[in-house]
Amino acid sequence: MRTLTLLALTALSTAVAAPVTLTLNSQPTTLSTSVIGGVTYIKLADLQKALAAQGGANAKASVTGCVNEWLFNGIWRMRVTKVAPFHNDPYGDGYAVTVEIKNGTTQTLELDEAGVHYNSARNLTFADGDSWAKMTLGVGAWQDKTYTKLQQGTGTVYTFQIFPEEHLDAAAVAAATPQKFLFEVDPKLASSVKARFSVPDPSFRVDLTCRK
């Protein structure tokens, strides 16, 4: 009888709670929960499965945020201010992503000295898993900007023109709404840089489906 009583009490102390929505890698994910002794729990197996679906251990642990939100990696402040379709002959149709970068340190720096290189990766990703990385890097003198000295609090603005490897017409480009903009930052710093990144991966990952 005593054993049955203990089992009954245990059963009463465990209940299924309402699902909870977490943000994993900038994506909302809903997980089931249980309440035990008044504390809400998520099954570790469910959390591992959700992380795997979002990219898991292979996902870049970049600094994440929304459009028009300032992101900071310990050295550079960066935000995406605008994303819009564009046409550029002879490259065709793609998306223009306007980025603002500011020096968040007390030291005068060049972008290239602290991880932001001319030929670093910039990608647009889409809901179907596709990504675009082809760019008109020569337009707007991006290379010159990476070698320009920026004092504390000063910055630069540049519009990256990104388009698919295969030609798409304007209607197809407009229908392929980008979900994320990935801006790679090399964690290796020049020896002259006194500041240090505040995160293990200083790259930026902007969710284009939300705005601040």
pLDDT tens per residue, range 81-105 = 999 999 988 888 999 999 999 999 9
155 burial (CB, 10 Å; 0-12 / 13-18 / 19+) is: middle
User: Which residues neighbour 150 within 8 Å (Cβ) at sequence distance 6 or greater?
Assistant: 102, 103, 108, 109, 110, 111, 156
Q: Do 27 and 102 share a structural domain?
A: no
Q: Do 103 and 34 share a structural domain?
A: no
pLDDT higher at 31 or 9: 31
Which structural domain range is residue 38 located in? 2-58
pLDDT at 48 over 80: no
210, 83 Cβ separation under 8 angstroms: no
Number of domains in the chain: 2
pTM for the predicted model, two decimal places: 0.70
Helices (H), 36-138: 44-54
Q: Do 18 and 103 share a structural domain?
A: no
CA 142 to each of CA 1, 118, 157, 161: distance values in angstroms, whole numbers, following the listed order: 78, 7, 10, 11
Q: Do 110 and 20 share a structural domain?
A: no
What percent of the chain has a predicted confidence (pLDDT) above 70?
A: 77
Q: Do 186 and 154 share a structural domain?
A: yes
pLDDT tens per residue, range 97-144 = 999 999 999 999 999 999 999 999 999 999 888 999 988 755 558 999
Q: What is the pLDDT of residue 84?
A: 94
Round to whole Å and give the CA distance between 183 and 83. Answer: 14
What CATH number is attached to the domain comprising 163?
A: 2.60.40.1240
Q: Do 200 and 171 share a structural domain?
A: yes
pLDDT at 53 over 70: no
Q: How confident is the model at residue 16 (pLDDT cuts 50, 70, 90)?
A: low
Tokens representing 82 are 């605008």
Q: Do 70 and 49 share a structural domain?
A: no
